Amino acid sequence: MSADAQTAGLNIAVLIKERLPDIPFEASVTKTYADLRVPPESFLALITGLRNDPELSFDLLRNIVALDMEDDGLEAKYHLYSFAHSHAVQVTVAAPIPSFELPTLTHLYPAANWHEREAAEMVGLVFAGHPDPRNLLLEEDLRIHPLRKAHPLQKPEILQGIEDGPPGVEV
């Protein structure tokens, strides 16, 4: 199963390189899908190509994962799927430091709206051009990024009111 996933992943990466020769990316394979690591300046061109090229036609944005890579800054991973060709790919992009700004995909994939809002509040990515950049899961005026590695996991004693402590640490 895993070997099949590896070959399928490599085949997709080769096909994408063939169809979009001008866009630089590094391909590797995860346990399930191919992973394309793209520099932030080529990111929008790659996603647009993946979506609009008839041989690729990745029409479903499944998921966005925002990661805090500590010393390497913030990253976002996008999972795309194509109904026409039944193939899938993962795109990784590291956000530029210190602005952590990535272009929004809401104009290409309306489904990106809530995923981006979640990624923005949880690790502090900024999605330029997002139509509604408010907090989604956290309180509206809370400016913390709980999924940053520096953000502490709160002690249960504080939550239970036995010990005093800060309600959340500003990052």
Partner 1 sequence: MSTTWPEENTTTTTGDLDTVDMTINVGPQHPATHGVFRMVLTVDGELVVDCEPYIGYLHRGLEKLSENADYRQAMGWWDRTDYLAGMCCEGAYVMAVEKLADIEVPERAEYIRVMMMELSRINSHFMFLGAFGADVGSFGTSFTYAWRERERIYDLIEEVSGDRMFPTYFRIGGVTMDLPDNFESRCRWVLASIRQGLEDLDGLLTGNEVFVERCQGLTPVTPEQAIAWGFTGPMLRATGLPWDIRKAEPYSIYPKLDFEIPVGNQGDVFDRFHVRLAECYQSVRIIEQCLENIPPGRVLAPKLPKTLRIDEGELYLPTEGTKGEYGVFLMAKGGAQPYRAKLRSPSFCNLSALKDLVVGSYVADAIVILGSLDIVLGEVDK
Residues at the interface with partner 1 (CB under 8 A): 2, 30-33, 35, 59-63, 65, 67, 77, 79, 83, 86, 88, 90, 109-111, 113-115, 122, 135-139, 146-147, 151, 153
Nearer to partner 1, 21 or 54 (CB): 54
In angstroms, give the least distance from the CB of 37 to partner 1.
Answer: 12
Closest contact distance (angstroms) between CB of 59 and partner 1 is 5
Paired tokens of 29: 């394979």
Beta bridge partners of 73: none
Q: What is the closest distance, in whole angstroms, from the C-beta atom of residue 103 to partner 1 in the complex?
A: 18
Q: How far is CA 132 from CA 9, 22, 27, 47, 112, in A?
A: 35, 32, 33, 21, 11
Whichever of 41 and 132 has its CB closer to partner 1, that residue is 132
Cβ pair 129, 69 in contact under 8 A: no
**Cβ closest to partner 1, residue 97 vs residue 153:** 153
Measured from the CB atom, is 18 or 90 closer to partner 1? Answer: 90
Q: Measured from the CB of residue 1, what is the shortest distance to partner 1 in angstroms?
A: 8
Adjacent-strand bridge partners of 128: 103
The DSSP element (H or E) to which 14 belongs, if any, is helix 2-19
Alpha-carbon dihedral sign for residues 148, 149, 150, 155: positive
Q: Round to whole Å and give the CA distance between 142 and 135.
A: 8
- Taking the complex as a whole, the smallest distance from the CB of residue 139 to partner 1 amounts, in Å, to 8
Which CB atom, from 15 or from 147, has the smaller least distance to partner 1? Answer: 147
